[in-house]
């Protein structure tokens, strides 16, 4: 088996990702498009394989953060339209976007004019997406200036306006008031444009949380990230659709050792054996994305049984308590997250006072991604 080679790895269940796309699509009108957000290596799941899977399952657009992320997908032969969500301002970036048929986000008049200048020079046309700031205050022109901005860009012959979009700051919160304020601002812009006969082909504002929360906000397309990977943006959105996590983190035992009461484990001696014990060393650490802040706080699975992680998690290795597991051997597999570990990215996020997005993006490239197509518990519901 290929897996035997690896000290630690991530298994990605592409069947779960396809199932999640179908579940999320069930919330949409048939005419509404699903843009799969595959930035940050598809939230740690492997951008190329995930992109191919989501397209097979019915996503029609892809969204990434950076130009290299878009180029990676084009080089893998992916032909779906790709939106770059981040800002791109340099002449070389404009040229790369034209060459690889990527579609940039245009956030202000100055950037639009840079695109105009470079594209006129190289004689290329690019489809662009105009970002309106309705309250996130990250990228985009203020909603009060949107009309002037749209008019400006529509007059630039090398820029073809493909969409107008905005982004919510609080879609995962129970209190919807700010989300609705942002939606009203977006709607005001659209109404004014319609009156002037200037509406762009596509309108979109939803991330996963907003699309789950309010069908009125779907417009022509939704931009779904987290949900594809089987996680809910918030606990109050869990009854919307059934989602299946797709990622499992595993590593191998490299040493098994009997220790006597009083023996300390790892840097700083944060764990001292209260009695005679059996410990195992596992070949995974914080350089792989197991956060050091979880030291002595999680359980992991060995032979289907949950055991304590003990001692400080180091860069490349950590220890577990296998006192109660008979026949533990070098080479045995330990599940840290997903699968039979009993741990979800939400559990770790709660322990670390962060969000599941950050836990998923934290797994490093040192961990090979292995695609598996395991039957999922709810598969019959597809």
Ligand X SMILES: *Cc1c(COP(=O)(O)O)cnc(C)c1O
Write down the least CB distance from residue 203 to ligand X, Å. Answer: 14
Closer residue to ligand X in complex, CB, 36/97: 36
Taking CA atoms, 322 is separated from 217, 277, 301, 306, in Å, by: 51, 8, 10, 9
Taking CA atoms, 326 is separated from 7, 29, 321, in Å, by: 22, 54, 12
Q: Which of residues 29-48 bind ligand X (CB under 6 A)?
A: 37, 39
Closer residue to ligand X in complex, CB, 167/369: 167
Check binding of 85 to ligand X (CB under 6 A).
yes
How many of the other CB atoms lie within 10 Å of CB of 109?
A: 14
| Residue 358 to residue 363: CA distance in whole angstroms | 9
Verify whether residue 267 is a known catalytic residue: yes
Q: Which stretch binds ligand X (CB under 6 A): 49-57, 68-76, 202-210, 291-299?
A: 202-210
Asked if 167 and 207 count as a contact pair (C-beta separation under 8 A), the reply is yes
Q: Which stretch binds ligand X (CB under 6 A): 107-115, 183-191, 219-227, 271-279?
A: 219-227
Strands 33-37 and 221-224 come out as parallel
Q: Which of 18, 25, 39, 250 is catalytic?
A: 39
Check binding of 245 to ligand X (CB under 6 A).
no
> Can you read off the two tokens belonging to residue 120?
């006129």
Check binding of 224 to ligand X (CB under 6 A).
yes
> Can you read off the two tokens belonging to residue 159?
């820029």
Check binding of 208 to ligand X (CB under 6 A).
yes
Q: Which of residues 142-181 bind ligand X (CB under 6 A)?
A: 167
Check binding of 225 to ligand X (CB under 6 A).
yes
Asked if 37 and 224 count as a contact pair (C-beta separation under 8 A), the reply is yes
Write down the least CB distance from residue 25 to ligand X, Å. Answer: 14
Check binding of 249 to ligand X (CB under 6 A).
no
Query: By three-state DSSP, how is residue 195 classified?
Result: helix
Q: Using CB under 6 A, count the residues that bind ligand X.
A: 12
Closer residue to ligand X in complex, CB, 225/338: 225
343's CB contacts (< 8 A; 6+ apart) are: 298, 299, 300, 336, 337
Write down the least CB distance from residue 250 to ligand X, Å. Answer: 25
Closer residue to ligand X in complex, CB, 85/119: 85
DSSP element (H, E) containing 221: strand 221-224
> Can you read off the two tokens belonging to residue 72?
């990676």
Check binding of 218 to ligand X (CB under 6 A).
no
Check binding of 371 to ligand X (CB under 6 A).
no
| Residue 382 to residue 186: CA distance in whole angstroms | 34
Residues in contact with ligand X by the rule CB under 6 A = 37, 39, 85, 167, 207-209, 223-226, 233
Q: Which residues are catalytic?
A: 39, 267
């Amino acid at each position: 088996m290929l897996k035997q080679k690896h000290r630690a790895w991530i298994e990605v269940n592409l069947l779960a990702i396809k199932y999640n796309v179908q579940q999320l699509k069930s919330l949409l009108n048939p005419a509404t498009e699903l843009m799969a957000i595959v930035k940050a290596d598809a939230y740690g799941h492997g951008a190329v394989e995930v992109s191919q899977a989501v397209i097979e399952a019915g996503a029609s657009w892809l969204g990434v953060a950076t130009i290299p992320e878009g180029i990676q997908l084009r080089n893998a032969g992916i032909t779906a339209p790709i939106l770059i969500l981040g800002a791109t301002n340099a002449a070389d970036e404009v040229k790369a976007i034209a060459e690889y048929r990527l579609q940039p986000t245009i956030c202000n008049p100055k950037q639009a004019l840079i695109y105009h200048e470079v594209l006129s020079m190289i004689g290329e046309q690019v489809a662009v997406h105009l970002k309106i700031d309705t309250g996130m205050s990250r990228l985009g022109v203020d909603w009060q200036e949107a009309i002037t901005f749209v008019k400006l860009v529509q007059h630039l012959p090398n820029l073809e306006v493909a969409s107008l979009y905005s982004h919510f700051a609080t879609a995962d919160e129970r209190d919807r008031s700010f989300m609705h304020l942002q939606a009203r601002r977006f709607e005001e812009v659209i109404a004014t444009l319609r009156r002037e006969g200037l509406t762009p082909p596509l309108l979109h504002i939803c991330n996963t949380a907003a699309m789950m929360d309010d069908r009125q906000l779907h417009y022509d397309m939704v931009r779904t990230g987290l949900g594809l990977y089987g996680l809910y943006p918030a606990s109050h959105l869990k009854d919307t659709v059934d989602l299946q996590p797709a990622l499992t983190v595993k590593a191998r035992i490299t040493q098994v050792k009997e220790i006597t009461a009083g023996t300390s484990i790892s840097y700083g001696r944060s764990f001292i054996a209260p009695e005679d014990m059996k410990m195992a060393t596992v070949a995974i650490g914080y350089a792989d994305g197991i956060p050091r802040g979880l030291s002595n706080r999680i359980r992991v699975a060995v032979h289907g049984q949950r055991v304590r992680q003990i001692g400080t998690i180091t860069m490349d290795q950590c220890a577990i308590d296998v006192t109660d597991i008979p026949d533990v051997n070098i080479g045995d597999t330990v599940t840290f997250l997903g699968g039979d570990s009993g741990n979800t990215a939400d559990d770790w996020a709660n322990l670390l006072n962060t969000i599941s997005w950050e836990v998923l993006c934290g797994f490093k490239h040192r961990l090979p991604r292995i695609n598996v197509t395991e039957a999922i518990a709810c598969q019959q519901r597809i």
